[in-house]
Amino acid sequence: MVQTRAARGHHAGVEASLDVAGVTVAYPNGTLALENASFHLGPGTIAGLVGVNGAGKSTLFKAIMGFVAPSAGEVRIAGLPAREAQRRGIVAYVPQSEEVDWSFPVLVEDVVTMGRYGHMGFLRIASRDDRKKVDTALERVGMSAFRKRQIGELSGGQRKRVFLARALAQEGLVMLLDEPFTGVDVATEQAIVALMRDLRTEGHLMLVSTHNLGSVPDYCDEVVLVRRTVLAAGPTATTFTQANLEKAFGGVLRHFRIEGAALHDDDDRRSVTVLTDDERPVVFYGAEKTSDQPLPRASEENP
């Protein structure tokens, strides 16, 4: 036991996986947020959770964590019931918005240290190893300089990074990140993605909800498309298709199609299609021309 713990951190012999089977969630006000949602994810995976606002992404995260009770279906994390997985420190969860008291007398480093509590003894005394992991986590999200700040004295993006650092310090084999990129600048987003790639090679499983459709193929191995249920789930190449996206976003998605004279000088019939949810991408075409403006929207479908 001792050697295995040292060899593979806290989770010796456990392999990351997430099984959601037939999960249905109805809120007390009668909203049916999820119906019969199912998918499976394995170790060493970054999975994008994609869907419109109100599709049920946050609800799905909460159902996985057991914060809302599904009226049907089952969730297994690393083959264990959610509560058991939490007790063993297997899951880390970063909610979409933190509902904490920002005037609470804790410093940034204190918050990140709380991520290590599950690894400490019952008196929660940090070992040298715990402190090192807190340092590393702060370093990785670029918040080391702010470690002595009271938690409320930070900007929105900085707060977000602190809670991400807490999840990192926790070293959950399964990480659930609900819109970690919203309100975060591009540099931070890239840093977070780089971090997730590192964790992937260490065998972690990450489920990340995002509105940034454009970057999904860049870093997601798998995609889970939701719209009140799981419409499709699987490898990005075969699942993140225009047809599936239109099913998931039908109507709400901004849809640009650039073709003909706007794109080519000859009679090439290929076109560029741009799909986007919240963020509006700027599309430039033609590297040499200095006066290039962002391409105008050729059409904006909102049927």
Partner 1 sequence: MPDLLAPFAYGYMVKAMWVSALVGATCAFLSCFLMLKGWSLMGDALGHAVVPGVALAYLIGLPFSAGAFVAGGLAALAMQFVRSQTRLREDAVIGLVFTAFFAAGMLLVSINPTSINVQSIVLGNILAISDWDALQVVVVSAVTLGVLLVVWKDLMAVFFDEAHARSIGLDPTRLKILFFTLLSAATVAALQTVGACLVIAMVVTPGATAYLLTDRFPVLLTIAVAVGALTCFVGAYLSYFVDGATGGVIVTLQTLVFLTAFYLAPRHGLLAQRRRREAAIVEAAR
Ligand X SMILES: Nc1ncnc2c1ncn2[C@@H]1O[C@H](COP(=O)(O)OP(=O)(O)O)[C@@H](O)[C@H]1O
Tell me how far, at minimum, the Cβ of 68 lies from ligand X, in Å.
Answer: 8
- The region, left, alpha or beta by phi > 0 then psi within -120 to 50, assigned to residue 228 is left
Q: What residues from 139 to 198 belong to the interface with partner 1 (CB under 8 A)?
A: 150, 166, 170
**In this chain, which stretch among 70-78, 94-102, 109-117, 144-152 interacts with Mg ion, using CB under 5 A?**
94-102
The C-alpha atoms of residue 73 and residue 271 are separated, in whole angstroms, by 43
**In this chain, which stretch among 50-58, 102-110, 151-159, 160-168 interacts with ligand X, using CB under 6 A?**
50-58
Q: At what angle do helices 186-201 and 156-170 cross, to 10 degrees?
A: 10
Q: Does 211 bind ligand X (CB under 6 A)?
A: no
The C-alpha atoms of residue 254 and residue 300 are separated, in whole angstroms, by 6
Q: Does 302 bind ligand X (CB under 6 A)?
A: no
Q: Does 33 bind ligand X (CB under 6 A)?
A: yes
The mark string for 105-144 relative to Mg ion (x by CB under 5 A, - otherwise) is ----------------------------------------
Q: Does 30 bind partner 1 (CB under 8 A)?
A: no
- CB 255: neighbour CB atoms within 10 A? 21
Take residue 110 and report the two structure tokens written for it.
């204190």
Q: Does 54 bind ligand X (CB under 6 A)?
A: yes
CA 187 from chain centre, in angstroms, equals 16
For 14, residues 6+ apart whose C-beta sits below 8 A from its C-beta are 78, 88, 90, 173
Q: Which residues bind ligand X (CB under 6 A)?
A: 27, 29, 31, 33, 51, 53-59
Q: Which residues bind Mg ion (CB under 5 A)?
A: 57-58, 96
